[in-house]
């Protein structure tokens, strides 16, 4: 392993304290804020305007934005909330994000939201939508049926009809008619945001010693709570500041993280992985806001452009089943492109889609001879000693192979 040997020559064994942070500390502060201060502030600044919370993974943010509303990604409550009510409405073997999202509703943390949007991921998420509908009959709760098979010829028209239904409901809720011009403007704003995000991912891949993944993660995840215009400014600032950074190579292996597409791991867990000797060079964290792999077209019917992008330019994930390019093949392609030494399958406890995919991923990784490690997390965990030991052992086994 030539690359690993090169890195072993470095004296730097921990994150360099000389590296200044490109990310405002407020990004990390926004993530656990269950009062949704940024959302309340936006609503104060835009009297009468509505905020729509959406459950991971994907939502058509452009349509919500073009209706004059603030789309807000809901990522559960982390370790901020004890479950008192949600347990009575769900069985025991359910992932944490489903329970804490419902708990946020039951404890009135979701009052800044005028509507909640769910979509097709798994049985738990689908049931959560209808548990919300039953428990909050006065609230607008919608469920978006996303095509499972984007390679089907019918998927674009089907999704357009779902978007049209959502548009009608949002227009009714907000009292504003959506125009093609407004939707194209929103698409351009989100295209720019995604372009900058892709740029930061590529920069980190090229120079992982210059940007910690824990920083990038906080920066991207903060975008769930901020207006896209504001978040794009932060991304630009991060891109502009990167060349001013300095950082020495560390004794680290390059890893791709896979499996955290819905419930999100605690920031501290990502920090521990980095301290243990991982350069995380790609991941599937906070996938919704960076859903498209290229710009969505703004020349033509914007609804069709969005539906077409969903079918033909989505990131791979455990949601749609794209037989044209199966996700286990795409994981291998990603690991090769990022020159990864290993893949860490970081899966939320009780996440059925991720565990179903684990079987496929494991088979393919073994076939390709790519080392891999399965780690399970919960968003609410706050002690990481067992996981620290697992990851340190894994890293050492590769570094000193
Ligand atoms: S974490 Fe997994 S099981 Fe839970 S809602 Fe998300 S996709 Fe479904």
* Binding site membership of 121 for ligand 1 (Cβ less than 6 Å): yes
Q: Which atom of ligand 1 is nearest to the CA of 123?
A: 8
- Check pLDDT > 80 for residue 1: no
- Check pLDDT > 80 for residue 6: no
User: Mean pLDDT across the chain, nearest whole number?
Assistant: 92
Query: Mean per-residue pLDDT for 215-227?
Result: 95
Burial 75-105, CB ≥16 within 10 A → b, else e: bbbbbbbebeebeebbeeebbbbbbbbbbbb
Q: Which atom of ligand 1 is nearest to the CA of 95?
A: 4
Q: Which atom of ligand 1 is nearest to the CA of 352?
A: 3
3-state secondary structure the chain: CHHHHHHHCCCECCCCCCCCCCCCCHHHHHCCCCCCHHHHHHHHHCCCCCEEEECCCCCCHHHHHHCCCEEEECCCCCCCCCCCCHHHHCCCCCCHHHHHHHHHHHCCCCCCCCEEEEECCCHHHHHHHHHHHHHCCCCEEEEECCCCCCCCCCHHHHHHHHHHHHHHHHHHHHCCCCCHHHHHHHHHHHHHHHHHHHHHHHHHHHCCCCCCHHHHHHHHHHCCCCCHHHHHHHHHHHHHHHHHCCCCCECCEEEEEECCCCCCCCHHHHHHHHHCCEEEEECCCCCHHHCECCCCCCCCCHHHHHHHHHHHCECCCCCCCCCCCCHHHHHHHHHHHCCCCEEEEEEECCCHHHHHHHHHHHHHHHHHCCCEEEEEECCCCCCCHHHHHHHHHHHHHHHCC
* Binding site membership of 57 for ligand 1 (Cβ less than 6 Å): no
Query: Mean per-residue pLDDT for 258-263?
Result: 96
pLDDT attached to residue 247: 82
Crossing angle for the helix pair 302-312 and 180-206, to the nearest 10 degrees = 30
pLDDT attached to residue 88: 87
Q: Which atom of ligand 1 is nearest to the CA of 318?
A: 7
Choose the weakest-confidence range: 12-21, 98-107, 204-213. Answer: 12-21
pLDDT attached to residue 24: 52
What tens digit of pLDDT does each residue of 110-161 get?
A: 999 999 999 988 999 999 999 999 999 999 999 999 998 888 989 999 999 9
- Check pLDDT > 70 for residue 251: yes
What tens digit of pLDDT does each residue of 13-36 get?
A: 333 333 444 455 588 888 899 999
With cut-offs at 50, 70 and 90, classify the pLDDT of residue 170.
very high
* Binding site membership of 102 for ligand 1 (Cβ less than 6 Å): no
Instruction: Give percent above pLDDT 90 in the chain.
Output: 83
* Binding site membership of 218 for ligand 1 (Cβ less than 6 Å): no
Query: Mean per-residue pLDDT for 183-207?
Result: 97
With a CB cutoff of 8 Å and minimum separation 6, the contacts of 148 are 120, 320, 321
* Contact predicate 22/238, CB 8 Å: yes
Choose the weakest-confidence range: 17-26, 45-54, 56-65. Answer: 17-26
Q: Backbone phi, then psi, for 62, in 5-degree steps?
A: -60, -40
Query: Mean per-residue pLDDT for 310-323?
Result: 90
Mutate to test the pocket of ligand 1, among 56, 262, 358, 380 (most ligand atoms within 8 A of CB): 262
Q: How far is the CA of 349 from the centre of ligand 1 (A)?
A: 9
What tens digit of pLDDT does each residue of 366-389 get?
A: 999 999 999 999 999 989 999 999
* Binding site membership of 119 for ligand 1 (Cβ less than 6 Å): no
Cα-based distances in Å from 322 to 213, 242, 285, 360: 28, 36, 20, 14
pLDDT attached to residue 13: 35
* Binding site membership of 353 for ligand 1 (Cβ less than 6 Å): yes
* Binding site membership of 125 for ligand 1 (Cβ less than 6 Å): yes
- Check pLDDT > 80 for residue 339: yes
Q: How far is the CA of 261 from the centre of ligand 1 (A)?
A: 9
Q: Which atom of ligand 1 is nearest to the CA of 121?
A: 7
Query: Mean per-residue pLDDT for 340-347?
Result: 98
Q: How far is the CA of 172 from the centre of ligand 1 (A)?
A: 30
pLDDT attached to residue 326: 93
The pair of three-digit structure tokens given for residue 119, joined into one six-digit string = 């979509």
pLDDT attached to residue 5: 34
- Check pLDDT > 90 for residue 203: yes
pLDDT attached to residue 3: 37
- Check pLDDT > 70 for residue 12: no
Mutate to test the pocket of ligand 1, among 97, 118, 126, 131 (most ligand atoms within 8 A of CB): 97
* Binding site membership of 97 for ligand 1 (Cβ less than 6 Å): yes
* Binding site membership of 351 for ligand 1 (Cβ less than 6 Å): yes
In whole angstroms, what is the distance from residue 338 CA to residue 190 CA?
25
pLDDT attached to residue 23: 52
In whole angstroms, what is the distance from residue 188 CA to residue 207 CA?
28
pTM: 0.92
- Indicate which residue's Cα is closest to atom 2 of ligand 1: 351
């Amino acid at each position: 392993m030539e690359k690993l040997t090169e890195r072993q020559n470095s004296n730097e064994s921990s994150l360099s304290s000389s590296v200044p942070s490109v990310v405002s500390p407020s990004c990390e502060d926004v993530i656990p804020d269950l009062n949704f201060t940024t959302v309340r502030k936006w609503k104060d600044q835009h009297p009468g305007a509505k905020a729509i919370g959406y459950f991971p993974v994907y939502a058509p943010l452009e349509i919500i934005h073009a209706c004059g509303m603030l789309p807000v990604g809901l990522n559960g409550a982390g370790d901020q909330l004890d479950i008192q009510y949600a347990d009575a409405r769900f069985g025991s073997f359910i992932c944490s994000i489903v329970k804490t999202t419902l708990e946020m509703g039951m404890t009135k943390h979701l009052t800044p939201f005028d509507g909640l949007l769910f979509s097709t991921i798994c049985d738990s998420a689908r049931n959560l939508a209808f548990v919300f509908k039953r428990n909050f009959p006065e609230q607008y709760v919608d469920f978006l049926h996303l095509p499972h098979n984007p390679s089907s010829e019918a998927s674009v028209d089907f999704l357009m009809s779902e978007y049209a239904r959502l548009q009608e409901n949002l227009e009714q809720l907000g009292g504003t008619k959506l125009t093609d011009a407004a939707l194209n403007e929103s698409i351009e704003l989100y295209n720019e945001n995604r372009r900058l995000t892709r740029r930061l991912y590529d920069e980190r891949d090229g120079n992982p010693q210059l940007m910690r993944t824990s920083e990038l993660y906080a920066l991207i995840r903060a975008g769930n709570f901020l207006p896209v215009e504001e978040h794009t400014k932060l991304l630009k600032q991060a891109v502009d500041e990167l060349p001013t950074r300095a950082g020495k190579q560390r004794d680290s292996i390059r890893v791709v993280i896979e499996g955290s597409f819905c419930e999100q791991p605690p920031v501290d867990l990502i920090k521990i992985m980095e301290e243990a000797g991982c350069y995380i060079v790609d991941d599937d964290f906070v996938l919704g806001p960076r859903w498209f792999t290229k710009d969505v077209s703004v020349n033509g019917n914007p609804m069709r452009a969005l539906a077409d992008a969903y079918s033909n330019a989505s990131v791979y994930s455990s949601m749609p089943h794209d037989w044209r390019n199966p996700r286990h093949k795409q994981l291998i392609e990603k690991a090769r492109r990022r020159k990864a030494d290993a893949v860490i399958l970081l899966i939320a406890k009780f996440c059925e889609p991720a565990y179903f995919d684990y079987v496929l991923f494991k088979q393919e990784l073994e076939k390709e001879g790519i080392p891999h490690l399965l780690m399970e997390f919960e968003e609410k965990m706050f002690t990481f000693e067992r996981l620290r030991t697992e990851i340190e052992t894994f890293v050492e086994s590769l570094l000193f192979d």
